[in-house]
Amino acid sequence: LWANGCFAAGQLLAGSFAASRWEMGRALKQDIEGLPVHVYKDGTETVYKPCGEVLLNDIAMQKLMDFGFMPLVMYKISDGVKLARFHSIADTALKGMWN
């Protein structure tokens, strides 16, 4: 993505709060769809360039989360991304009034 990931996290938290208020519980939104995708032809094959920087496998995603990052995971043939997990820098579980 060509922006700071904090905007994606903020959009997801605001959307979750707007839908459920403090009763968000485990219903925190994690998906953002409708992002720009570059689609082109390579010979006879249609190629989708992902809307994120790199495709992450599960091991790489887990390592990033272990270091305190909240990676945006892209879908290979999609216009969407998913925030792997919300968590605090101080602790892995994000605590709030919804807990």
Alpha carbon separation from 79 to 12, 39, 74 (Å, rounded): 16, 10, 8
pLDDT band at 48 (very low <50, low <70, confident <90, very high): confident
Is the Cβ–Cβ distance between 94 and 82 less than 8 Å?
no
Out of 15-24, 35-44, 90-99, pick the least confident.
90-99
Look at residue 97 in the predicted model and tell me its pLDDT.
Answer: 65
Looking at the predicted structure, is the pLDDT value of residue 85 above 80? Answer: yes
Looking at the predicted structure, is the pLDDT value of residue 34 above 80? Answer: yes
pLDDT band at 52 (very low <50, low <70, confident <90, very high): confident
Cα separation of 32 and 51, whole Å? 11
With CA atoms as reference, report the closest residue to 32 among 93, 67, 84: 84
Cα separation of 21 and 80, whole Å? 24
